[in-house]
Amino acid sequence: MIIDWYPGHMKKAREQIIKKLPTIDVVIEVLDARLPVSSANPLLTRLRGTKPCIKVLNKSDLADPAVTGEWVRCFEKQQGVRALPLIAKDHRDAGRLLKLCRTLVPTRGGKGERYLQVMVIGIPNVGKSTLINTLTGKKVARVGDKPAVTTCQQLIDLHNGILLSDTPGLLWPMLEDQQGACRLAASGAIGDNAFDTDSVALATLSYLSDRYPALLLKRYNLPDLPASPTATLAEIGRRRGCLVSGGEVDRHRAAELFLRELRAGLLGGISLERPGDPPESNAPSAARADDAEV
């Protein structure tokens, strides 16, 4: 299975970002706290140069808090980078973010000073628009549970000396890291029509069986974990009534249900990436997950 998703408007978004960056004081990169590497745009580090960057670890309530703490320490070893776990809808978290922006560039945004210009950037469905609406206190950015809701650039005056530059969700042209693409698909960042749901569910179940077996056992009331991801998915389907005539498990329905519950945080705090892990030790590729069943 190859996941390759790059809508045309995202190329335009990249061009807009490049054009706007010279006027920006602080870059806020919104990441998914569950997968901070896979939800980052690899072009941004090169494009922003020496500009201060805040890596916002959004959806921190869905992630493993211990692992999120490891990511904060990891990111803050990078020059010019601060990391802040938050929940995009939380107004207190939004206030902490604005305070951090002012700390990074104290000569901007005060009385008689030039506006502090901040660019908010992030791939689709990481909560960028929700965060902007929270920062402004009103709905100025479209929000949805599907990727690529924001499709045009906006400049927003917060009336506190700060200007926000919103950009469309941005992905890179080729998802060469298919393991990362699989994690993105599992999180909901990639449109469902761009990948095979069954394969992504199996790959994710393989990872969770290794890293978070207790959460699987508790959520699906399993006495023990089945021997393979395929068997685990079938058992989830049986226990959740995803059946067809004859009592057979509808594996596709079971896969959809499992991914919905994962994305909603119903399994508990789960991180799909950890600092220091080699890529192959994070979630396996969907192809490998299927091969393991042969």
Same fold, 8-166 and 196-291: no
Question: What pLDDT score was predicted for residue 293?
Answer: 34
pLDDT, position 261: 97
pLDDT at 276: 86
Q: Which CATH architecture has domain 196-291?
A: Orthogonal Bundle (1.10)
Say which CATH topology domain 8-166 has.
Rossmann fold (3.40.50)
- Residue by residue, pLDDT tens for the chain (294 residues) are 555 455 555 566 677 778 888 889 999 999 999 999 989 877 777 778 888 999 999 999 999 999 999 999 999 999 899 999 999 999 999 999 999 999 999 888 777 678 899 999 887 788 888 999 999 887 665 444 444 444 445 688 888 899 998 776 565 544 566 888 899 899 988 878 888 999 999 999 999 999 999 999 999 999 999 999 999 999 999 999 999 988 899 999 999 999 999 999 999 999 999 998 865 544 434 433 333 332
Query: What's residue 209's pLDDT?
Result: 97
Collapsed DSSP state (helix, strand, coil) of residue 24? coil
Strand, coil or helix: what is 224? coil
Question: What integer pLDDT is reported at residue 45 of this predicted model?
Answer: 75
pLDDT at 172: 52
Question: In this structure, what token pair is assigned to residue 216?
Answer: 């699987």
If one counts every other C-beta atom within 10 angstroms of the C-beta of residue 65, the result is 13
Q: What is the pLDDT of residue 149?
A: 40
Burial letters 28-60, b for 16+ CB under 10 A, else e: bbbbbbbbbbbbbbeebeeebeebbbbbbbbbb
The predicted structure's pLDDT at residue 286: 43
CA distance 199 to 287: 7
125 to each of 121, 140, 157, 168, 273, how far by Cα in Å? 11, 16, 23, 11, 18
pLDDT for residue 142: 47
Confidence at residue 166, expressed as pLDDT on a 0 to 100 scale: 78
Place of tokens 């009331």: 221
pLDDT for res 278: 67
What is the domain partition of the chain in residue ranges? 8-166, 196-291
Comparing C-alpha atoms, which of 280, 132, 262 is closest to residue 208?
262
